[in-house]
Amino acid sequence: MTPKNKSQDREEMLADIAEMYYQEGKTQAEISVKVGMTRSAISRMLTEARQKGIVEIHVHRPLRYHPELENKLKHHFNLIGARVITHGSNLEYDELKKRLGNAAAIDLSALLRPKMIIGVAWGTTVKSVIDALSPTLLPGTQVVQLLGILGSIRHSYSGQTLVESLAYKLGGEGFYLYAPFMVDTEDTATVLKNDLSIKKALSLGTQSDLAILGVGSVKPDFCSLYQGDHISRQDLRTLTAQNVVGDVSGHYFDIYGQSANVEFHKRLMGICKEDLLKIPVRFGTAGNPEKAEAVLGALRGSYINYLTTDSQTAARILELAESQ
């Protein structure tokens, strides 16, 4: 047996002290008496344990909701459901997505049933929802990728990664769309869509009982496609020149929800708009007032009929809707 070195001995001592303090509820004074060290030494060792990752602290902040805004959204856009969380004014975007994911996962878990077909788009907010979802065994569940692959790198928020994660959590089977998100020409898209495996995945996607969706923006700071180098700044300029405000599953629209006349749609490898809108529950999650125009377009175009957002974004959406 290999003898322990001093570093290992030190880390075991740090773990012992951390367990006494955090798990057993002993005070630093009590620990100092037990191990024969000064109280200040115990304090320093607890700090060291955190710095070395021996101790990790997670704060589970309770979610607060805004029922009035939820009812307004449901009534104004004829939604199946709406969930609006409240938060402070200085919340970072990444933390907001995490909280939205937590809230969305609670509602999503109440909607899921055995033998469902669940379509999954992609994106950082969709990832936050699936990450927050608690594992639940749902026999016969099929999880299908609604959009093609984002380039040659396997991103944590890409469709195939999210399908794999959700299928594992639900004890279901994953179905993958092994094609690029967007191809070079319309002819290439037509040929690929006739490939047997791709055709099967696309067909299963049209049978989805529920789709987990995000809302994309054409604002550079909030566009995952641009941030991930999947489209260029010039592509964004082309879209904004045609009054495009956002997309759902690669389908671009203006603030009134009208489909944009862009050639991107002809090269898209994924579920078509008509089939997407036939999915009974289109469960969308998006937040930040900078994305309000995109979310408004998605709601007006019926791309989403169950929305999770935050109070500032909800208020801005309703303000925009009433002003137009």
Report residue 152 as tokens.
């040659």
The pLDDT score that the predictor gives to residue 60 is 65
Asked whether residue 32 falls in the same domain as residue 176, the answer is no
- Number of structural domains the chain divides into: 2
Residue 112: what residue type? Answer: L
In 3D, which of 7, 33, 6, 4 has the Cα closest to residue 20?
A: 33
Q: How far apart, in Å, do the first and last CA atoms of the chain sit?
A: 75
Residue 117: what residue type? Answer: I
Domain extent, residue 24, equals 6-51
Asked whether residue 88 falls in the same domain as residue 232, the answer is yes
Asked whether residue 186 falls in the same domain as residue 47, the answer is no
The pLDDT score that the predictor gives to residue 153 is 59
The pLDDT score that the predictor gives to residue 239 is 86
- List, in sequence order, every residue forming a beta bridge with 238; answer none if it has no partner: none
The pLDDT score that the predictor gives to residue 111 is 97
Asked whether residue 117 falls in the same domain as residue 170, the answer is yes
> Backbone phi, then psi, for 158, in 5-degree steps?
-80, 160
Q: Is 305 a domain residue? A: yes
- List, in sequence order, every residue forming a beta bridge with 212; answer none if it has no partner: 120, 283
Report residue 220 as tokens.
């550079």
Q: Is 271 a domain residue? A: yes
What is the number of H-type helices and E-type strands within the chain?
Answer: 14, 10
Query: Residue 20 sits in a domain of what CATH number?
Result: 1.10.10.10
Element containing residue 37 per DSSP (H, E): none
Q: For the chain, which ranges sit under pLDDT 50?
A: 1-2
The pLDDT score that the predictor gives to residue 58 is 66
